[in-house]
Amino acid sequence: MRSKGLRKKAMTSEKHVYGPGDLAPDQSDEKLGQPGEYPFTRGIYRDMYRSRQWTMRQYAGFGNARETNKRFRYLLSNGQTGLSTAFDLPTQMGYDSDDPLALGEVGKTGVAIDSLADMETLFEEINLGKVSTSMTINSTSAILLAMYRAVGRKQGVESKLLQGTIQNDILKEYEARNTYIYPPAQSMRIITDIFEFCSKEMPKFNTISISGYHIREAGATAVQELAFTFANGIEYVNAAISRGFDVDVFAPQLSFFFVAQMDLFEEVAKFRAARRLWARIMKERFNAQNPKSMMLRFHVQTAGSSLTSQQPDNNIVRTTIEAMAAVLGGAQSLHTNSKDEALSLPTEASALTALRTQQIIAFETGLSSIVDPFAGSYYVESLTDQLEAEVVEYLERIEKMGGAMRAVESGFIQKEIQDSAYEFHKDVESGRRTVVGVNKFIDEATEQDKLHRVDPQLEIEQRASLARIKSERDNKNVEETLNKLNAAARGTENLLPHICDAVESYATVGEISNTLRTAFGKYRPAATL
């Protein structure tokens, strides 16, 4: 039977007015703290946006590296302050563009990257010493990280100075997103190898972005988003400690990725509860001593699942409200979705409007001039406490199962998300939940703007480019590096130095992934019905 606290539905208020009696008994300064101080409920920095704006990091990627490079430079020229890279499904799944399984998918959901040559083109005329880059990549994260490092070195930027983030969060792939390749244990090995490698070679690079975004987008509630994300985070920290790593060496390079949904107050409370809970986990469970190990640093993306194909101009309003929730909740970086993303990849014009949305919030509203403006709100403080308590209840349940890995292998987390998604859609279909333009205030005559379409010729060109790279490189050297990687994968060596060697020989994403598939095998999920 489901515990009363583990609710499926959104945390809608059961009262009209909140007052002092709705606060938890302990609302002391020690519990709330000051901004920049443990437990970081009110923000991880003392001055937050008063001293530095959040990073405006628009997610972009389509077609080939040259087309995406143009979009990157366009956004940077219009005031974007960081890069965020979307990769196509073949790249995410470890297949080259010439693989039969990639047919029709090359460059469709993001940029196609086959070899270091593509990565060099992707960042042409972009100084990696002056910009930070986020890469939404998981199963092949080690390969793309090695490529990014190689491009930096070719530009003359030391690896120790490179800044950015790789998502590298494989557990949520088994739970919600499904771009996994290898079994969980082998995937966890790659992640901890990345932790070790980056702590020595790339100390300014975030080694993982533990993602609640995709969990929530798959249908989870706010409570489940935090609970499953933190269960995964605990699993990663445990894995690193079991390898003998000092928590205060790798934990400052951990980062998180959350969604901002439409319930503004719930989202603000969620971010505040998340900071406090993660600080407590790191201090009390893992005995972290460095305050940076306890800081929840997170990126936010507005909710793709809230966008509608009907009346797409309404999506600008939705994105604005969600972006405000992220800012009021204290995000370190933010992506705002474009109005046409329920229909296609963003056009250049809609991508610019999405960026301008952030800039208007930052420079015209005054929201960035106050740290934690909802502090002391009876409603928000009560909601923060409620969210935290329900997340703790979920974490205790997962702990009794043996942790996130066991919960994934049993299908528990997947089933919980599926059930929540089903209930949400029932509410929309029945009209219990209003979605403007979908089940209320419907206008059948709405015209669609021109949509962005990826030119099919780009897939043909990408395959031709890949064939040229394979013919021009030193294939004997490629074979040698892949053989060494295979031997390392069957042993216990850190894989990253071998992946770096393979990448720099212009071995492809598919060739490196196939080498690891041979050593590790492929994952087949358990049924969750």
Q: How do residues 93-134 score in pLDDT, each as one tens digit?
A: 999 999 999 999 999 999 999 999 999 999 999 999 999 999
Percentage above 70 pLDDT, the chain: 94
Q: Return the pLDDT at 26.
A: 66
182 pLDDT more than 70:
yes
Angle at 458 between CA 106 and CA 107, to 5 degrees: 25
- The DSSP result for 342-378, as a single string, is TTSBPPHHHHHHHHHHHHHHHHHSSGGGSSSTTTT-H
What average pLDDT score do residues 299-324 get? 97
Closest CA to 68 of 472, 333, 351: 351
- Whether the upstream peptide bond of residue 39 has omega within 30° of 0, thus cis, is yes
Report the pLDDT averaged over residues 256-283.
98
Question: Model confidence at 5, in pLDDT bands (50, 70, 90)?
Answer: very low
Classify 258 as helix, strand or coil: strand
What are the structural domain ranges in the chain? 20-430
Mean pLDDT confidence for 60-81: 96
Residue 239 has phi, psi (to 5 degrees) of: -65, -40
* Structure tokens, 132: 């930070």
Residue type at 296 in one-letter notation: L
Edge-to-edge strand list for the sheet holding 164-166: 205-206, 164-166, 133-136, 82-86, 55-60, 333-335, 298-302, 254-260, 208-211
Looking at mean pLDDT, say which of 18-22, 219-223, 453-457 comes out highest. Answer: 219-223
- Tally the residues of the chain: 529
The answer to whether residues 264 and 321 touch, using CB atoms and an 8 Å cutoff, is: yes
Residue 446 is predicted with a pLDDT of 62
Question: What is the rounded average pLDDT of the residues 414-420?
Answer: 96
* pTM of the full structure: 0.92
- The residue written with tokens 């070195």 in the block is 153
- CATH hierarchy code of domain 20-430: 3.20.20.240
pLDDT of residue 141: 98
**Which two three-digit tokens encode residue 172?**
């949520």
Contact in structure between 424 and 306 (CB atoms under 8 Å):
no
pLDDT greater at residue 27 or residue 246: 246
Long-range contacts of 478-487 (CB under 8 A, 24+ apart): 478/502, 478/505, 478/506, 478/507, 478/511, 480/505, 481/505, 481/507, 482/507, 482/511, 482/512, 482/515, 485/512, 485/515, 485/516, 486/515, 486/518, 486/519
Following DSSP, what letter does each residue of 134-196 receive, concatenated? Answer: EEE-STTHHHHHHHHHHHHHHTT--GGG--EEE----HHIIIII----S-HHHHHHHHHHHHH
3-state secondary structure of 5: coil
For residue 264, the number of C-alpha atoms closer than 13 Å in the C-beta half-sphere is 12
Question: How far apart are the two ends of the chain, measured CA to CA in Å?
Answer: 17
Strands (E), 285-328: 298-302
Question: In 244-303, which ranges are continuous DSSP H helix?
Answer: 247-250, 264-280, 291-294
Query: pLDDT per residue over 445-454, tens digit each?
Result: 666 677 878 7
